[in-house]
Amino acid sequence: MSTFVLSLHTGIADHDGLQRLSRFAHATVNSGHQVECIFLYQDGVSHASPYLQQPSDELDVKATWQALADLGIPLMLCVTAAQKRAIDISHESVFTVAGLAEFAMLSAKADKWVQFK
């Protein structure tokens, strides 16, 4: 069994990045591997905005993240990137606020780090 750390760097407008990450994470878990965390970094922090309003004909971003959380994957939000982009980190959500040091430690222990850009 391998361990993975995933990171998403693209903003909310890039549905393809989130869909690729979601498919990869589901396939990884379904294959018996472990995803230690998914880390939202750079413009990826926009996925955690509590004010996100998506049209009904677009990808349901909140449902996608909830499905990943339901797999037991910790979802982490870079505090510095969020603050730079005025993302409210005080609300309750599926994301946990974390720093780059925590992400670096998890990445160092994992077998693979996969970035979605």
Active site residues: 78
Question: The tokens 């750079």 sit on which residue?
Answer: 42
Residue pair 39/7 in contact (Cβ under 8 Å)? The answer is yes
3-state secondary structure of 77: strand
Q: What token pair was written down for 97?
A: 């606020």
Residue pair 25/35 in contact (Cβ under 8 Å)? The answer is yes
